[in-house]
Structure 1
Amino acid sequence: MAELFDSYASDFAQLTSSITAKLDKEVPSQAGEARKATLRRADMEADEADEILSQMEIEVNGFPQSVKSKYAVQLRGYKAELEKLRRSVRTQVQNAGAGGSRFDAALEADGDVESGRSSYDPQAQRQRLLQGTSTLEDGSRRLQESHRIALETEDLGADILRDLRSQREQIENSRDTLRQADSNIDRSSRTLSKMIRRAKQQKLVTIGIITVLVLLILLILYGKFS
C-alpha cells in the first residue's frame, strides 16, 4: 500500500511542478489567448492532481492505524499545496481577463485617435484600414489556432481523467478481490487446523485402543499358561 501511495505522491509532485512552472515562468511572458490557454492547461493539471489526491485518500483509509496518521498528515499537506496553486491559477485567470479588457479598450482608443487624424489624410487612412484588416485576419487565424489547441488539450485532459477513473475502479476491484481472498485463506486455515487437531485426536484414540487390546491379549495368554 505504501508503495502505491508513494507512486501517487510522485505523480502529484510532477503535476504541481508543472503548474508552478506555468504560473512562474510561462504566464508572465505571455499575453492574450496564449496566456489563457496556458492557464487552462494549468487548471486541467490541477484537476488531475485533485483526482490523484482522491486516490491517495483511498489508500490512506486502508492503512493500519499505526501508520495511518503519518500519511494522513502528508495528505493534508498535499491538499493545502494544491489549494494554494488553485488560488494562484484563479488569480491569474482574473488578471488575464481584466488585462484583456484594458487591452481592448486601449485598441478602441487608438482607433478613435487614428480615425480623427485620418480625416486629414485619405491615403494614410486607407493604408491604416488595410493594415487593420490584415491584423484582424491574422488575429482571427491565431484565435482559431488557439481554439483548436484548447479543444485538443481539453480532449486530452478528458481522456486522462477517464483513464484515471478506470484505473481507480480497477484498483478498488483488485483490493476487494484481495480482501475476499484473504478471508477465504483465513477460513481455509482455520478449517485445516481443526482437521489436523481431529486427526491427532483420532490417532491418540486409535493408539489407546490398540494398547488396550494388546494388554487384554497378554492377560488372556497369561491366564491360559499360568
Structure 2
Amino acid sequence: MDNSPTALFENYDEDFKQLLASLKGKLEGDVKQLKGEQRKAALKKVSDELDEAEEIVAQMEVELPSMPTSIRQTYHQRLQTSKQALDKVKKVLRDVRNEGQRAELLSGPGFPNADDPYTDDPDSYSARTRLLAGTERIADGTDRLKNAQRIAMETEDVGADILRNLRGQREQIEHTRDTLTQADSSIDRAAGTLKKMIFKMYQQKFLSAAIIAVLVILIILVLWSKLRG
C-alpha cells in the first residue's frame, strides 16, 4: 500500500467526493421530502456526514506540506476547490434548517394566517416580519461565526508555518555549531602539530650548528698541527 503524501491525498479526495455526493443527494432530495422527526433525523445524519467531510479535508491539508514542491501548488488548488465545495454544502444545510424553522413557526397556533401571503391581518404581518428579521439575524450571526472560525484556522496555519520555520532554523544553528566545534578541534590538532614541527626544526638547527662547530674545531686543530710540524 502506497503511504506517500500524494497517494494519501488522492484517497482522501476520493472519499471526500463520495461523501459530498451523498450530502448533496440528501439535501436536495430526502430532507426536503421529510417532515417532523424524520426530517430532524435526516438533518442529524447530514450534519454528521458534514463533520466527517471536514475531517477528511483537514487530513488532506495535513498531507500537503509533505509533498514535493513541484506538485504542491496543484494539490493546494485542489484542496481549495474541496473547501469551496464544502462551504457551499454548509450554506445549503443552513438554508434548509432556516426554512424548516420558519415553516414550523409559521405553522404554529400563533400564526393563523401565516400561509396566506395576502392577509390584511396586521398582527400576522408583524409577526411574520419579526420572524423573518430574526431569521436573518441568525443567518448573519452564523456567517460571522463561520468567518471567525475561518480566520482562526488561517491564524493557526500561519502559526504552524512559523513553528516549522523556527524548527528548521534551530536545526541549521545546531548543525553550524557542530561544524564549528569540529573546526575548533581540527585547529587545536593543527596547532599541536605545528608546535612539534617548530620544536624539531630548532632541534635540527641546534644539531647542525653543533656539527658545524665540531667540524670547524677539527679543521683548526688540523691546520694548527700542520703549522707546528
* TM-score, structure 1 normalization: 0.48
Question: Whose RCO is larger (CA < 8 A, sep 6+)?
Answer: 1
* TM-score, structure 2 normalization: 0.48
Determine which structure has the larger helix proportion and give its number.
Answer: 1
